[in-house]
Structure 1
């Protein structure tokens, strides 16, 4: 019974966050089957990505370099590839905010299975911390990724499209790497910066969602949203 409860608590944050971000696309919601597919693909990627990340980590001495290059870069690149390959050309991907929904689905699929594995290995003490920080962090990194993938899909020229595709990987990598670098620090004051950093990610992410909502062709615009 305790085992099932542990699994349930490990899964709950991903499902709750997925529901929250899915409902932000209120004008033209994506089919649950496609969102579920991206979530499932994210889960399938978890174990190979974790093994590859651990293998790369063995050749990097600095914990800060590992945070950015053997964890953040590999994980975000995997989510980026999944979203580009399986979502970008979907007929249902017909507004910018759809990029956020699909990227968050892939990211939370990854984070949910990772959360289950960590909970089984480390026990209850890790569940609460990951529920409030790590799993939301994965979702918020993906908000930025999906925002710029949505802008890239509907960009009017090649130069903008290339720039937005670059931003879609660069910003999640930067945010994820910064998050992990703070966690592995030996200094308590740096570790405590996780709290204001998460607040920043929530504010930044919700702002990007609002911009994407305002640019939806299915919503009557009261004004123009910023392009970047």
Structure 2
């Protein structure tokens, strides 16, 4: 398989999911330039995280596929740095003006990371189309789900009175938990993973879509729209 088809197959899942969650913003879509910037920052995260993960594996002697590897070397650095980017770049930005915006930006960062990671894996297994489909269904989609969970709680932190610290903590801990669980299940169920991963992905998708609807329902812009409709 030539370079262009491999590259297209690797980028397409992340791009499609980003478009999907971007278009779910019902009331005031975010600036495309800012969403793409966060996606690009997510891409750049791959390199320092790879170095850190390698250092953790060598320094702590974590074996790939172990429980500690799944949570400490894989999930923790990835979700922490995604959280760090969203918090310090977007959380107090003027464009973050409704709860759903947290989901858009967190998903953008997560999918930026997942897309470059997918490109690397695609070039290693470029002739295996089934592998690329597996990557699209599981790791790329999984990163999107972790981004939804993170972004939902960023939105709750910013727009729920008295709950900021709690939801900022949830924005980190819940994606960390689900990401670690995801990786560990894949590691220990090499031959029968489908019996665990399909129910987990269905659960995460249903949970994420519910959070999308809840975030949109709590938008202050929704109330403005309703008032305008009443006046008309």
Taking structure 2 as the reference length, the TM-score comes to: 0.90
Q: Work out which of the residue numbers 209, 213, 216 in structure 1 matches 2:212.
A: 209
Task: Quote the residue 2:4 is aligned against.
Answer: 4
Match of residue 108, structure 2, among 98, 101, 105 = 105
Match of 2:136 among 131, 135, 144: 131
Relative to structure 1, the CA distance from residue 32 to residue 184 in structure 2 (aligned partners, 3 Å threshold; closer, same or farther) is same
> By how many angstroms is 1:219 displaced?
1.2
Residue 93 (structure 1) aligned to one of 82, 91, 96: 96
Where 2:221 maps in the other structure, the secondary structure is coil
CA gap of 1:66–1:95, structure 2 versus 1, over 3 A, is: same
> Equivalent residue for 2:188?
185
The question of whether the paired residues in 2 share the 8 Å contact of 1:183 and 1:191 is answered with: no
The within-5 A match list for 1:1-228 is: 2-58=2-58, 59=60, 60-61=62-63, 63-125=66-128, 126-157=131-162, 160-186=163-189, 188-189=191-192, 192-220=195-223
> Larger % of helix: which?
2
Gaps of 5+ in 2: 227-232
Higher alpha-carbon deviation: 179-188 or 70-79? 179-188
Aligned-partner SS, 2:140: helix
Structure with greater Cα Rg: 2
Shift of 1:23: 0.6
Aligned to 1:29, the other structure's residue is in SS state coil
The change in CA–CA distance for 1:197 and 1:81 in structure 2 (over 3 A counts) is same
Unmatched segments (≥5 aa) in structure 1: 223-228
Separation of aligned partners in 2, 1:149 and 1:130: 27
TM-score normalised over the length of structure 1: 0.92
Give the Cα separation in 1 of the matches to 2:66 and 2:194: 14
1: CA distance, partners of 2:216 / 2:106? 16
Per mean C-alpha deviation after superposition, the further-off stretch among 112-121 and 61-70 is 61-70
**Backbone CA RMSD of aligned residues:** 1.7
For residue 226 of structure 1, what is the aligned residue in structure 2? none
Tell me how far apart the structure 2 counterparts of residues 55 and 8 of structure 1 sit (CA, whole Å): 31
Q: Which deviates further from its counterpart, 213-222 or 138-147?
A: 213-222
Contact kept? 1:182, 1:191, Cα under 8 Å: no
Task: Give the Cα–Cα distance (whole angstroms) in 2 for the partners of residues 216 and 109 of structure 1.
Answer: 26
- Find the aligned partners of 1:151 and 1:6 in 2 and give their Cα distance: 39
**Residues 79 and 103 in structure 1, CA contact (< 8 A), matched pair in contact too:** yes
Alpha-carbon spacing, 1:190–1:121, altered in 2? closer, same or farther (3 Å): closer
